[in-house]
Amino acid sequence: MAENPYDFRKSLDEVHIKGRRDFTVCPQPDETVIQSGWSIVLPETASDFCFDLARDLADYLLVSMQVSAGIRRSDSITPESRSIILQTGSEELPVPRSFKLECRRDWIRITGADDWGTAQGSYHLEDLMNLREAPYIRQTAGTCKEPLFSPRLIHSGYGMDQFTAAYLQRIAHEGFDGILLYVLEPGKGIQGYTDFNEIIDLAEKAGIKVYFYSRMRNPFHPGDPQARQYYESQYGQLFRHCRKAAGLVLVGESCQFPSRDPMIEPLNSNNPGCFRSDKPNPGWWPCSDFPDLVHLIRGCIREYAPAADLIFWSYNWAFAPKELRMKLIDDLPGDVTLQVNFEMHDNIEIWGTRERALDYTLSLPGPSQIFQEEATEAFRRGLRLYTISNTAGKTWDFGCVPYLPTPYQWLKRMDQLKTARREVGLSGLMETHHFGWFPSFISEFAKWNFWSNSPEPQEILLALAAREFSSEVAETVLDAWREWSEAISEFVTPIEDQYGPCRLGPAFPFLFAGISLRSTFGLNARFPWTARCLHEIAFCRYEPVNDPLGLDMGIRRFLAEIGHLPSTIARWQRGISLLEGLLEQIPERKRRNARKMTGLARFIANTLTTTLHIKCWWLENQRLLLESDPVQAELILQRMTAILESEKDNVLATIPLVREDSSLGYEPSMDYVCDPPHLEWKLRQLHAVLTMDIANYRKGIEVAHRLELDTPCSGTCPENAFAGTP
């Protein structure tokens, strides 16, 4: 069934999924059965938040389990028959948001360290029933659970900085405890002028804190006489008006300032446009005076929010020498949090070449050398340490999909994050950048892994596979997930692909290098961004990046990738075939979501096919431009035509996928980039290249044929033509 644009938002607003219960499941002797007629009991002194929580649990039981439960307050909270008790406060629970679950034959009690802990205990009760597909809870004298990481921060998958009350509730149910909002100036966000306090209050009702992500202008050096007044009017006033905001993120590229570090190119320098400085901009270098800026901003914020979490993120200077990065960390205020990238910037030898992950990827679980160096230094200094883990389910490997269905590769990252927690004190996670969070079994899997006293990961995965498909086929589902997990580990997504076909999917255009003056889709072609696009963060022109800091030559990387991508695509296809073979064996009520998962995997495989095609296309373009023999040039054009025809088939195969699932082809900051209109544009673009650009080039080949008959072309560039004079 076809979906309309943005229909995926309905699932984001679906706090409790209808019809979870499987009435064929029978309780075990050691399980308590929650039935209609049970009561949810609160102390008389329970807060409004806990009363809303009781209503949430009652709604879950009715909507998902078809069990009708009442709600009542009581002076006594001693266990009573057929009751679920929600209470707050216990000396057993010193960690915020922790809880204890007790389940006896005819009653259940959830005790939270605080109200938000009680909420997480109630949501855990829902999780147990979701996996069981029935309102049956294994009896226990008492299980205490603590969050391993806090905060767990995400951006909105709904749309940039767009949060509804229901979506916030869904976020809280998934175990996240913080959201990120962009701020450009006090009262102004990425979507324009914004009532930040309205969002903060709405999030608080869901048990979620709000962190600002700064894009505020920093036009003055901290040593300038007007600096204090200016930064007070920005950062100070932001927290004066939003005193319940939890913190602020500062990252180099978004908080550039006129640094006086002699190693950088001064901000707003007067270099002519054709001149490229050999010095980086201040946002991309660990400037010696960055700590001075942080000290100043910190002081402005602390005046109004003494406990605000000021997060300084070292995202942008992985290329800088280690000693300068360590010096910056050493000079930061002691009450600032350092956030470090987790998996990026290592050189990886694979397929006989060398790749480098320059942006977020799951191909490498982490930690990187950069993380180990900077995290160790933060630990030595006693700084709070966060990382961007993207464990909400998505990276830049495939930019316009809702999540990556590769649990075994995600598990490798989760295990490494827990190791970093033990060894260097990692305490907080940014689990998605602005590509946002979409509910999936991956984020649910992360929730189980990021709480203490959880079952073994393989046990959880098997239960998730049984719930999403059926217990009879769960092992085969795991085999499919293994294929996909292996596939994503095989391709270290290069930067030209992350900003090209892997970001735009099969809508990525194929531009013809041998353009004419009348060419419609030449190298200056512009992608048709929508009116809702806030970030144009992809490039139509495709060519290899030649990085001096460790990458192999671009042409060698392309040749290696062309040789090995077919086997990676085949792995995705094997997993798809395994799942598609199960569709008729699973209950009808589960088939739509199962088809969506296979559709997601097909979209990823088709994206990789486009990536393979564009590499071959670039290679043939280069050969064509250097080929003077008209016979050989014609053979190249024939190969290029075959690539276009194959890509056309790939685009046509993608259109039904995005029609059935409106989350495919969407990324919150770019809006839709690979929906049916963009894929139809791609078909027109391919047709124009074939019928106009290639046809025009053939006219030149015809001229060359005639000229060759009279005077064969034999000119070459002498080897010493540009040699210097001895």
Rounded to 5°, angle at Cα 656 from 18 and 684: 145
> Strand, helix or coil at 352?
coil
Which is it for the CA torsion 474, 479, 485, 487, positive or negative?
negative
Which is it for the CA torsion 441, 444, 450, 452, positive or negative?
negative
Write out the two tokens for 247. 């913190």
Q: Is the pLDDT of residue 708 over 80?
A: no
Q: Provide the terminal-to-terminal Cα distance of the chain, rounded to the nearest Å.
A: 75
Please choose, from the candidates 154, 141, 23, the residue with its C-alpha nearest in 3D space to the C-alpha of residue 437.
154
Are residues 504 and 674 in contact, defined by beta-carbon separation less than 8 angstroms?
A: yes
* Burial class of residue 702 (count of CB atoms within 10 Å of its CB; 0-12, 13-18, 19+): exposed
DSSP 670: T
DSSP 232: I
Tell me the pLDDT tens digit for each residue of 257-316. Answer: 999 999 998 877 555 544 456 788 899 999 999 999 999 999 999 999 999 999 999 999
Helix (H) or strand (E) holding 543: none
Write out the two tokens for 282. 């201040």
More confident residue, 77 or 539: 539
Q: Which residues pair with 356 in a beta bridge?
A: 347
Are residues 166 and 9 in contact, defined by beta-carbon separation less than 8 angstroms?
A: no
Output the CA–CA distances (angstroms, integers) from residue 228 to 70, 102, 364, 515, 545, in the order listed. Answer: 57, 54, 43, 54, 42
Secondary structure in 3-state letters for 24-93? CCCCCCCEEECCCCCEEEEECCCCHHHHHHHHHHHHHHHHHHCCCCEEEEECCCCCCCCEEEEEECCCCC
Q: Is the pLDDT of residue 426 over 60?
A: yes
- pTM (predicted TM-score): 0.95
Size (the chain), residues: 726
Q: Which amino acid is at 362?
A: L
Tell me the pLDDT tens digit for each residue of 352-390. Answer: 999 988 899 999 999 999 999 999 999 999 999 999 999
> Strand, helix or coil at 474?
helix
Tell me the pLDDT tens digit for each residue of 503-517. Answer: 999 999 999 986 644
Q: Is the pLDDT of residue 723 over 80?
A: no
Write out the two tokens for 416. 């490494």
**CA atoms of 686 and 484, how far apart (whole Å):** 30
**CA atoms of 671 and 660, how far apart (whole Å):** 18
Output the CA–CA distances (angstroms, integers) from residue 149 to 98, 152, 155, 256, 667, in the order listed. Answer: 11, 7, 17, 30, 26
**CA atoms of 465 and 488, how far apart (whole Å):** 20
Are residues 566 and 478 in contact, defined by beta-carbon separation less than 8 angstroms?
A: no
More confident residue, 488 or 720: 488
> What does DSSP say about strands 192-193 and 666-667: parallel, antiparallel, or unpaired?
unpaired
Write out the two tokens for 186. 């006090």
**CA atoms of 400 and 603, how far apart (whole Å):** 10
Q: Is the pLDDT of residue 86 over 50?
A: yes
> What pLDDT, on the 0 to 100 scale, is given for residue 269?
59
The number of beta carbons lying within 10 Å of the beta carbon of residue 19 is 12
List of residues 6+ apart from 63 with CB closer than 8 A: 16, 17, 18
Q: What is the mean pLDDT of the chain?
A: 93
For 444-460, give the DSSP string.
HHHHHHTBSSPPPHHHH
Tell me the pLDDT tens digit for each residue of 553-598. Answer: 999 999 999 999 999 999 999 999 999 999 999 999 999 999 999 9
- Within the chain, all domains assigned CATH 3.20.20 are found at 152-266+281-461
Q: Which residues pair with 71 in a beta bridge?
A: 40
Secondary structure in 3-state letters for 273-309? CCCCCCCCCHHHCCCCCHHHHHHHHHHHHHCCCCCCE
> What pLDDT, on the 0 to 100 scale, is given for residue 524?
56
Q: Hey, what CATH class is 12-145 in? A: alpha beta
Q: Is the pLDDT of residue 722 over 70?
A: no
List of residues 6+ apart from 376 with CB closer than 8 A: 424
Enter the CATH code of domain 152-266+281-461: 3.20.20
Helix and strand totals (H; E) in the chain:
21, 22
Q: Is the pLDDT of residue 122 over 70?
A: yes
In the chain, pLDDT over 70 holds for what percent of residues? 94
Please choose, from the candidates 509, 394, 392, 499, the residue with its C-alpha nearest in 3D space to the C-alpha of residue 444.
392
Backbone φ and ψ of 597, nearest 5°: -65, -40
> What pLDDT, on the 0 to 100 scale, is given for residue 549?
75
- Within the chain, all domains assigned CATH 3.30.379.10 are found at 12-145
